[in-house]
Chain A
């Protein structure tokens, strides 16, 4: 069936909450407002305010509360209105959620999903446009997921909810309205599995979340120019499915990695390092990265456009990686 990314997330949570009463949803405007981006439409009506918990604007407080509830056996889904606000809750995420299992020698677990939109939308300014996945990926004890399609969004969110670890689930505001085919009925997609979104022989293009759509468009354009591009979506950023990427690299010998986040210490740097370590001998040239610019996101549209990877830049990067002028 054809569903929007938003509807797919809504279905995933609805099905899981019907299945397991330990699951509850907590965050700003998740209930009577129906979610700041309407992802939780109809939830408070179906599950009641005990399980769909509207909070004050205190991310550290309610994220910490959710972690405590998880320690006591519940399975919270924390909705952050945007991932930017996760910075306010970073002490809870990094010092508590990620470490409690380890520090306790495995006595305690924190089965928890923290989800919400990351990356830029349109002209939201510097504090609401950040791609922070590299921050979360850096921390041992967290899993990080960033789906690009409605099908992946639903299947991965269901797996994230069933996981016994804290999972950071990064959506994108500009993806909420995008539509795609979603399998009817029950299915899940395991965390830690990349997917080849387009097969090709000449070059491997790695991209996730919103940038996957940019990569696919670039691949389409390049195919008309005679370049056969393979596009891989890691889908789960941590743990990273390096095997799928390396299998592709062994075939193509060339790699371009696209991310919207900042270049310096960005996720692409880590993916490149992993590829160099695992498959250096198979590379025919240096790995090329396309990234967001190292600036706070400007408001003005032409400046914002200049800061975010787009199709022409990805096309140029792929050509450069392939030594095509």
Chain B
């Protein structure tokens, strides 16, 4: 384990807590019909986005799939603009054109959430290709679920990344279910999905995706290697989706039991880090109370901003279909 700096751990905890409370509030807003469409929550998986992105530079590229709120917030996007995008408001990150599954924040180098499973993985190789072509020492981090691993586009991207030694880190968030289908019914080598990348010569390892410090440690090592030009890397982060696939799916559904969910909740990434903080860096319950208050205020303000923001003018319907020269 690397450093155990109190402020550092408080910062990591704060980021995970922000995602957790933001997502809980999103579910509430969905129930109130403030948010529509598909809404996929990141609850339970926070340690991966926060741990991985903590190892990056601000100019590195991050790209994600449709369960993208956590990555966007971990990259530092304004929660108000993210919430406003979920509300479909003109003040949203994408002016209401994207929605939950298509967040983009170019200023934070968050290159987007994409909702065709596997379809954004070639884009990640392209971002990495561009930084190599331009001789910039950037890395690209590409998040996707284990459900994307068997897709053809993933394999084409793995091959190109390995063939051309592209500076891209593939992070597979293995939450064990692609919608309602467990990994053992979807991926032939389900006990080790990283074999898909290894078969193209990509170095790979597994990490405990419920332990933010473990994720960050692995990423710090990997980012250095990839930035140094050693080619792509694949990280399989073992995690669990505490909620349903989307808001249309109850948290346990027909495909898994309440007991199974409860078992995994014992290793809630917030609980795991909190225990470390209480035991090893002398944090107190008062510290956590203070964080809860601060994050609660942020999320409340985000909702207020989203709610009070105007909807887009229908006149903007055709704006940005095409770039004007």
Contact = CB atoms under 8 A, between A and B. Distances in A.
Interface of A: 24, 50, 55-56, 58, 60-74, 91-92, 95-96, 100-109, 111, 140-141, 143, 162-165
A162 B119 CA distance: 26
Given A67-B123, A71-B126, A105-B93, A91 B116 contact: yes
A68 B159 contact: no
Contact of A68 (B95, B104, B130): B130
Contact of A72 (B92, B104, B126, B163): B126
B186 to A, nearest CB: 19
Given A95-B119, A105-B93, A64 B125 contact: yes
5 contacts: A56-B163, A67-B122, A69-B133, A95-B116, A108-B106
A102 B94 CA distance: 8
A107 B131 CA distance: 19
Given A72-B61, A108-B104, A141 B153 contact: no
Interface string B86-122: 0000001111111000101110000110101001111
B134 interface: yes
A273 B159 CA distance: 45
Nearest to A159: B325
Contacts of B129: 65, 68-69, 74
B124 interface: yes
Contacts of A73: 130, 134
Contacts of B102: 103-104
Nearest to A94: B116
B133 A74 contact: yes
A94 to B, nearest CB: 10
B122 A104 contact: no
A62 B94 CA distance: 27
Interface in B134-177: 134, 152-153, 156-157, 159-160, 163
A141 B119 CA distance: 18
Contact of B104 (A55, A66, A103, A164): A103
B160 A92 contact: no
B122 A63 contact: yes
B160 A55 contact: yes
B130 A64 contact: no
Given A58-B160, A65-B157, A71 B111 contact: yes
A107 B92 CA distance: 12
Nearest to A190: B325
Contacts of B134: 72-74
A141 B318 CA distance: 10
Contact of B130 (A62, A72, A141, A143): A72
Contacts of A106: 95, 319-320
A71 B320 contact: no
A70 B126 contact: yes
B322 interface: yes
Among B105, B111, B320, max chain A CB count under 10 A is at B320
Contacts of B126: 64-72
Given A64-B153, A105-B93, A58 B159 contact: yes
B127 interface: yes
Contacts of A96: 114, 119-120, 123
A63 to B, nearest CB: 7
Contacts of A164: 323-325
A69 B138 CA distance: 13
A109 B157 contact: no
B321 interface: yes
A68 B122 contact: yes
Contacts of B116: 91, 95
Contact of B127 (A69, A95, A162): A69
Contacts of A162: 325
A105 B94 contact: yes
A34 to B, nearest CB: 21
Contacts of B96: 105
B56 to A, nearest CB: 16
Given A73-B130, A91-B116, A101 B159 contact: no
Given A24-B133, A74-B130, A101-B323, 12 more contacts: A60-B152, A61-B122, A61-B153, A61-B159, A64-B156, A66-B126, A67-B126, A92-B122, A96-B123, A101-B320, A103-B98, A104-B97
A103 B325 CA distance: 19
Nearest to A141: B321
Contacts of B160: 55-56, 58, 61-62, 65
A164 B61 CA distance: 21
A94 B10 CA distance: 43
Contact of A60 (B104, B106, B131, B153): B153
Contacts of A58: 156, 159-160
Contacts of A56: 156, 159-160, 163
B322 A141 contact: yes
A107 B85 CA distance: 14
B151 to A, nearest CB: 10
Nearest to A143: B322
A193 to B, nearest CB: 14
Contacts of B153: 60-61, 64, 91-92
Looking at A58, A71, A106, A107, which has the most chain B CB atoms within 10 Å of its CB?
A107
B111 A165 contact: no
- Please give me the 10 A-B residue pairs with the lowest Cβ-Cβ distance, nearest first: A68-B126, A64-B122, A61-B156, A72-B130, A105-B94, A164-B323, A68-B123, A105-B95, A104-B104, A106-B320
